[in-house]
């Protein structure tokens, strides 16, 4: 098949769609990507990229078109709006001009903004190409949950946009079964919605780290709780810091934060204000391929989301990576994410937003034996292989794509 992936983000930005695109290409499909100029999460174009530079490049045999857009900048509402809008305008204008080769279907990767679906629907209209829309993030609910949009008028307008996109898609893939009611509420027909979870890059697996490894030198000695990924409003660092403040008397317990994001300066300031400099360590971003080595040196991996109804419906994408690496998980989550950890028996869970429960779970894990921790990690890895393994999910995706192709047999 000739597959066009439409995604606001793509390599060198670190999202699972990179891996999925490679997987489809490895299976003999011709894959093309229509993405923006990489600028996430720092808000500036990556070195070597620009409006007139590296607009087309090769990624493991995949042709990637980078359409012009306004970078995210400081992440303010105005800059994000311009970032989203310019991608849509550029995608609608340049997509048909650049992607002239025959296309059998379009796969949209939607992990915010939902407007990424508009260039795909425009291409569908002018060339009769079926569209699969993969929902990673529910709009407009996530806008209100993070406080990004509070105006009911604007939220209703976004809701209409979501309805337009869902109704225009031929198949809607949901990364969580709990997404189904919201998708149906906003116009997605029940028979068009299927469960299709995330996997994890193949390098996420249990590893052994040699004694002299540079990663060891970066980490404090003691019991290491590790958080990896975006440092944003949704991750609820206020609760994380409040939990660590309750554990200050345990000098052996350390929180290691790997990643970056819009609220990182605020989170670091909060740690200083609460006197946590000796227990909380922000190590910044590191290449994704190094994450399994860091995870192997952690005693527990932390995943958290704010206490909002919308976040109870999602499975945080980092959870698959954590499980794949076979380390015990501490989850400050409600709903689907907590269910996965509990069903896998891969760690300890507590309610989102509950600093007391999070501190108690960290302390419980701290007091457990190494064998207990190891067993939780092994169960997590087994659960990953049964439910989220990459090749199994690629088989399912190919089957869905073949089915969708039959919807518009004369797509060219």
The parent domain of residue 190 ranges over: 2-199+389-405
pLDDT (0 to 100) of residue 408: 53
Q: 76 in a domain, yes or no?
A: yes
Mark whether 179 and 241 lie in a shared domain: no
Mark whether 310 and 171 lie in a shared domain: no
* Tens of pLDDT, residues 166-211: 999 999 999 999 999 999 999 999 999 999 999 999 999 999 999 9
| Interior/surface letters 342-381, b for 16+ CB within 10 angstroms, e for the rest | eebebbbbbbbbbbebbbbbbbebbebeeeebeebbbbbb
Mark whether 263 and 347 lie in a shared domain: yes
Question: Strand 253-258 vs strand 193-195: parallel, antiparallel, or unpaired?
Answer: unpaired
The pTM score is: 0.88
- 149: pLDDT confidence band, cut at 50, 70 and 90? confident
In the chain, % of residues over pLDDT 70: 98
Q: 395 in a domain, yes or no?
A: yes
Q: 208 in a domain, yes or no?
A: no
Mark whether 194 and 287 lie in a shared domain: no
44 neighbors 71 (Cβ within 8 angstroms): yes
How many structural domains are present in the chain? 2
* Tens of pLDDT, residues 307-354: 999 999 999 999 999 999 999 999 999 999 999 999 999 999 999 999
> Which is it for the CA torsion 24, 170, 336, 14, positive or negative?
positive
* Tens of pLDDT, residues 40-50: 988 999 999 99
Across 81-90, average pLDDT: 97
pLDDT (0 to 100) of residue 410: 46
Q: 281 in a domain, yes or no?
A: yes
Mark whether 242 and 187 lie in a shared domain: no
* Tens of pLDDT, residues 105-148: 999 999 989 999 999 999 999 999 999 999 999 999 888 877 77
Q: 411 in a domain, yes or no?
A: no
Q: 278 in a domain, yes or no?
A: yes
- 407: pLDDT confidence band, cut at 50, 70 and 90? low
Mark whether 331 and 227 lie in a shared domain: yes
With a cut of 60, say whether residue 412 has pLDDT above it.
Answer: no
198 neighbors 23 (Cβ within 8 angstroms): no
H-state helical runs in 189-316: 214-218, 237-246, 264-273, 291-296
Mark whether 144 and 237 lie in a shared domain: no
pLDDT (0 to 100) of residue 411: 41
| CATH number of the CATH domain containing 288 | 3.40.50.2000
Across 17-34, average pLDDT: 97
Mark whether 47 and 176 lie in a shared domain: yes
pLDDT (0 to 100) of residue 147: 72
* Tens of pLDDT, residues 347-381: 999 999 999 999 999 999 999 999 999 999 999 99
């Amino acid at each position: 098949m000739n597959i066009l992936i439409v995604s606001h983000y793509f390599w060198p930005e670190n999202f699972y769609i990179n891996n999925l695109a490679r997987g489809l290409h490895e299976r003999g499909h011709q894959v093309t990507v229509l993405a923006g100029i990489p600028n996430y999460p720092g808000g500036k174009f990556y070195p070597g990229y620009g409006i007139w530079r590296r607009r087309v490049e090769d990624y493991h045999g995949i042709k990637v078109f980078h359409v012009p857009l306004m970078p995210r900048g400081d992440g303010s509402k105005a800059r994000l709006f311009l970032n989203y809008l310019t991608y849509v305008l550029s995608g609608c204008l340049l997509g048909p001009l650049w992607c002239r080769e025959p296309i059998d279907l379009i796969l949209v990767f939607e992990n915010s903004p939902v407007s990424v679906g508009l260039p795909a629907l425009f291409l569908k209209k002018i060339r009769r190409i079926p569209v699969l829309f993969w929902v990673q993030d529910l709009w407009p609910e996530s806008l209100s949950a993070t406080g990004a949009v509070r105006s009911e008028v604007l939220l209703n307008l976004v809701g209409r946009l979501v309805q337009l996109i869902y109704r225009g898609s031929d198949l809607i893939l949901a990364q969580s079964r709990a997404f189904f009611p919201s998708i149906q509420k906003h116009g997605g027909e029940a028979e068009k919605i299927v469960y299709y979870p995330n996997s994890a890059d193949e390098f996420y697996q249990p590893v052994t780290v040699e004694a002299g490894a540079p990663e060891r030198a970066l980490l404090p000695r003691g019991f290491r709780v590790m958080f990896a990924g975006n440092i944003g409003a949704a991750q609820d660092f206020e609760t994380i810091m409040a939990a660590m403040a309750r554990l200050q008397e345990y000098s052996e317990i350390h929180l290691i934060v790997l990643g970056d994001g819009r609220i990182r300066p605020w989170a670091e300031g909060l740690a200083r204000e609460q006197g946590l400099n000796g227990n909380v360590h922000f190590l910044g971003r590191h290449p994704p391929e190094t994450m399994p080595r860091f995870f192997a040196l952690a005693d527990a991996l932390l995943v958290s989301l704010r206490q909002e109804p919308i976040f109870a419906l999602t499975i945080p994408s980092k959870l698959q990576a954590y499980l794949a690496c076979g380390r015990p998980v501490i989850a400050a989550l409600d709903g689907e994410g907590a269910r996965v950890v509990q069903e896998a028996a891969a760690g300890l869970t507590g309610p989102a937003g509950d600093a007391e429960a999070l501190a108690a779970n960290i302390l419980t894990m701290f007091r457990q034996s190494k064998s207990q921790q190891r067993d939780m990690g092994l169960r997590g890895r087994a659960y990953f292989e049964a439910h989220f393994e990459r090749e199994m999910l690629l088989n399912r995706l190919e089957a869905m794509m073949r089915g969708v192709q039959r919807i518009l047999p004369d797509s060219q």
